[in-house]
Amino acid sequence: MKRRLLISFVILASLLLGASVAMAKDLTLGLKGEPTSLDPHFHNVSQNNQMALYVFDKLILQDSRQKLYPGLAVSWEPVSDTVWEFKLREGVTFHDGSPFTAEDVKYTIERIPNVPNSPSSFSGAVSAVEKVEIVDPLTVRIHTAAPAPLTPRNFASFVIVSRPEIG
């Protein structure tokens, strides 16, 4: 909620200040510590995670009491003991204008354990994932080898990145 309030404030300030904000050369953000990387999956430490939330969003969010609520995923449910289905938010675009789809979720989940030289990765959050199935552009199914009831909670720990264009 605080993040959304901050973003709303920034947008409002940008609208009110008009061209002067658009012509600004520096953007200053307050962080608890200096990030070690701008790659949101490289180093799972608080200052990096805080910085990532200024740029990216998560499938699932948590409130101050750690209750899960929709982010980029509007809903999630188990469809069997080893399959979770996530319905994705429609109309979301990345900073470059590309649409957010199930391809981006699949790419992110497969990317996380393969970030080179990561000193502290998010691999634990996706370690139960055996396969990511794209049902349609806004639906993804996560297959696990065994029941994984904490999948939604684990998915609330990392941000989603855009799948690079290939070709």
CB atoms within 10 A of CB 112: 22
Domain architecture of the chain: domains with CATH: 26-160 (3.90.76.10)
For residue 23, name the pLDDT band (cuts at 50, 70, 90). low
Asked whether the beta carbons of 44 and 122 are under 8 A apart, the reply is yes
Question: End-to-end CA distance of the chain, in Å?
Answer: 39
Asked whether the beta carbons of 138 and 87 are under 8 A apart, the reply is yes
Q: Is the pLDDT of residue 6 over 70?
A: no
Among all chains, which residue has been given the structure tokens 């999948």? Answer: 151
What's the chain's average pLDDT?
A: 88
pLDDT at site 32? 76
- How do residues 145-155 score in pLDDT, each as one tens digit? 999 999 999 99
What is d(CA 97, CA 84) in angstroms, rounded to the nearest whole number?
28
CB atoms within 10 A of CB 115: 16
Nearest in space to 93 (alpha carbons), one of 167, 160, 18, 12? 160
Q: Answer whether 0.95 is exceeded by the pTM.
A: no
Instruction: Name 30's bridge partners.
Output: none
- How do residues 29-39 score in pLDDT, each as one tens digit? 777 788 989 99
